[in-house]
Structure 1
Amino acid sequence: MAGAQNDGLSLAERRKQLAAKRAQEEAAANPQGASVNGVNTTPEMPLHSLVHNPRNARRNMEGVEGLADTYETTGVLQPCLVIPVETFRAAFPEDAAELPDAGYVVIGGNRRLAAAHQAGLATLPVHVSTKLKTREEILVAAATENLAREELKPFEELATIEELKTELGTYDAVAKKLGKTGGWVSQRRRLHHLQPELRQALETRAPGMTIELARDLGKIKDRDQQLKAWQVAERAADRSANPVTGKQPKPKKVSKVPAQGGSGDGSGTPLEDTAKARREACLLAVATGAGDLARLSIIAAQAPAAPDEAVALAGQWLTEAAVGSSALNMATLSGGEGTDRQKQGALALALAHCELHLTRTSATDSTHARAYADWLETHTDHQPTDAEPAPTA
């Protein structure tokens, strides 16, 4: 064992050697492709006999060139999962015209097949499944393979979920088949509600756009509100990336407003970076209307702050989030302001109480500080620094 550790190879290289050795042993034990648990193990198969899955959710296969470079030096260590063309044609007759008369369809490993072609390989290691026969079995196998390898983009995941729902009938059944929670499926379905501009931002990985933010924005049904919330997130991302040149919108002048750049105690003392980061997270939470309001309200009730200052700070966030500070106007609470808007107002006010209290006490109120930091980390992209209190579990 000592010799193995001193052979000059990295752990990854030793793993590759072990995988190659196991593949050779498997091929020697099953020279004719004997069936093992419904999967025929075939050491190598000519590339010309393999075709891409026409229903593969992953349309744009990235990273193929880098994978091809790897194959040229180390070969292909992970076999592809394939089924006979005739089996696929029987399950999906509508796709028959795209397939040859014979050969095998790659269910798991379409990117490997593309890379093998680019690398100029003649053969590819495969597992031939004799168990995948129905539409449901084939779709679930392909989805499980892609999701397990994290090979799908967000909208490809969504397309996979919708296709499986057509076959299985309910989203609960989709979650169960994929070994996921109902919440996992619901989060991805929110992407249906994204406006085209936000879809493009997510697809192109625009600065500030994350899958978590996209799902939160998907909760907002109104087009204008959704776009304004994204603009708030863009500005926050720009200020974080360019602390010197990034420009912050100037809040309206209101008496006793604790400015985003000030401590909020009336002294005009600039905020520390940790406090600035928290307030950016607060603004984004207000813009998206996201978060557990009941939990935050309990935390806020134990965070004393001057009422006028809390209303002023909350109003500033509501104004910057394009919700409008009138969401806090008590005269409108009896009528037609809209429950979503009022929720954002309540969220902003609760956050303002927490933020002002934490800023003034400098986190000496450890119980409140931990609860507040935990809420921000759970419901926003905010990540506490080492200087902030660690959130509780």
Structure 2
Amino acid sequence: MARGQRVNLAELHSAVGDKSPVDRSQLQRDSAAGRTVALDELTANPRNPRDQIGDLADLASIADMQLQPAVVVTREAYLKLYPDDAVSTRYVVVNGCRRLAAARKYGRSDLAVIVNDAVARDRVTLISASIAENVDRKDFDVIEEARAVEALVAECGRAEDAATRLRKTGAWVSQRRALLKLEPELQTALRRGELAIRDARDLARVPRIEQVARWRASMDRNDDAGEGSADKKRPPSRSRVISTAIAEFNDKPENLAIALRTYLGADGVDTLLQLLRRPTN
């Protein structure tokens, strides 16, 4: 496929339409391949841009009714693109990974799918289709989004082509990619909503060695401003961040470590460790 060629992702998802860039006879064969498949024949896309599937409560109704079929490609089509990936099932789910996870969680034994190997005709198309399902979803955090965009740029070869694929501006693609220049603890803060994306973009322009210090200084200024600040979008206070991390400790222990390292600094963490090692009476 030529770089920069526009692809209507909605048409790829539904596998129908007169304006599809894929040969219409192929699409007709694929769209006729709608079927119900047992869950043990399905593997979630190993290249899914999402790190986590998130809360599946909104999909609990899938136990009784599936409103939208998942889009899958055959194992053979997928492995032509990624031969080193471990796929042993008959199909790979490209769009509908959360539906697959919800079906497993809520006791469904099968899933309605549309088989469309045209989505796996090349890596760019597969990655684009995977991102299209998630971009702009409220539960698709910006770092996942940034990594997905970076992967697409790497496959397309140019940021401009990736922007065209996603129907986004070049500035949007550039801003998302810039977030990957943040220190890991700032990326975590951004994902948890403690760091506003506009501030994250500014910090990404700062040398990495200075980023955390600047953010701490900003947080100190926010704390000094007091809880009565008129800025309703002010990031959560450090006490709220730490208390939330403690409440989530069993599921995400790394969040508490990151929060303490961020707010206490290296010396503070060392002092805390010494105190924790002291025997209790």
Q: TM-score range by the shorter chain?
A: 0.5 to 0.7
Of 177, 187, 199 in structure 2, the residue corresponding to residue 189 of structure 1 is 177
- The aligned counterpart of 1:62 is 54
The one-letter code of the counterpart of 2:73 is I
Quick one: structure 1 residues 49 and 180, their matched pair in 2 at CA, closer, same or farther if it must change by over 3 Å? Answer: same
What TM-score does the superposition give when structure 1 sets the normalisation length? 0.48
2-side partners of 1:146 and 1:81: how far apart? Answer: 14
Q: Quick check: 1:210 aligned with 2:191?
A: no
Aligned to 1:144: 132
| CA RMSD in angstroms, aligned pairs only | 2.7
Name the residue aligned to 1:169: 157
Partner of 2:40: 48
Q: Does 1:39 align with 2:31?
A: yes
Distance 1:202 1:36, change over 3 A: same
Distance 1:50 1:161 in 2: 25
* Equivalent residues of 1:47, 1:122 under 8 A apart: yes
Taking the aligned partners of 1:179 and 1:121, their CA distance within structure 2 comes to 35
Deviation at 1:229, TM superposition (A): 3.1
1:331 aligned residue: none
> SS state of the match for residue 44, structure 1?
strand
What SS class does the counterpart of residue 84 from structure 2 fall into? helix
Give secondary structure in 2 for the equivalent of 1:59. Answer: coil
Alignment of 1:262-273 (within 5 A): none
Check the 8 A contact 2:54/2:139 in 1, yes or no. no
Instruction: Tell me which of 96, 105, 126 is aligned to 2:113.
Output: 126
* Matching residue within 50, 59, 82 for 2:72: 82
Offset of residue 237 of structure 1: 4.6
For 1:82, what is the secondary structure of its paired residue?
A: strand
Q: Which residue of 1 aligns with 2:214?
A: 229
Identity across the alignment (%): 31
Unmatched 5+ stretches in structure 2? 1-25, 235-281
Q: Residues 308-323 of structure 1: matches in 2 within 5 Å?
A: none
Unaligned runs of 5+ in 1: 1-33, 244-272, 281-393
Q: Show CA shifts across 1:11-58 (max 9, x none).
A: xxxxxxxxxxxxxxxxxxxxxxx9548534525222121111111111
Distance in 2 (CA, whole Å) between partners of 1:109 and 1:236 is 44
Aligned to 2:227: 242
| Contact 1:191/1:214 (<8 A) preserved | yes
**2-structure distance, mates of 1:83, 1:70:** 25
- Which deviates more from structure 2 when the two are superposed, residues 83-92 or residues 227-236? 227-236
* Deviation, structure 1 residue 128: 1.4
8 Å contact from structure 2 (residues 190, 196) kept in 1: yes
Residues 265-286 of structure 1: CA distance to partner in whole angstroms, max 9, x if unpaired? xxxxxxxx66xx59x9xxxxxx
Question: How many pairs are equivalent?
Answer: 207
Match of residue 180, structure 1, among 146, 164, 168: 168
Residue 79 of structure 1 and its aligned partner are, at CA, apart by: 1.4
Per-residue CA shift, 1:96-135, capped at 9, x if unaligned? xx111x5110001111101100111011121211322222
User: Residues of 2 paired with 1:121 and 1:188: CA distance?
Assistant: 36
Which whole-Å deviations, capped at 9, do the CAs of 1:331-384 have from their partners, x for residues lacking one? xxxxxxxxxxxxxxxxxxxxxxxxxxxxxxxxxxxxxxxxxxxxxxxxxxxxxx
- Are the aligned partners of 1:46 and 1:124 in contact in 2 as well (CA < 8 Å)? yes
Higher Rg of the two aligned structures: 1
* Paired residue secondary structure (2:102): helix
Residue 105, structure 1, aligned to residue 119, structure 2: no
How far off is 1:59 after superposition? Answer: 2.1
What is the CA–CA distance in structure 1 between the aligned matches of 2:143 and 2:59, rounded to whole Å? 26
Q: Scaled by the length of structure 2, what TM-score is found? A: 0.65
Higher relative contact order (CA 8 A, sep 6+): 2
Q: C-alpha separation between the residues in 2 aligned to 1:130 and 1:43?
A: 14
Q: Contact between 2:38 and 2:109, CA under 8 Å: does it hold in 1?
A: yes
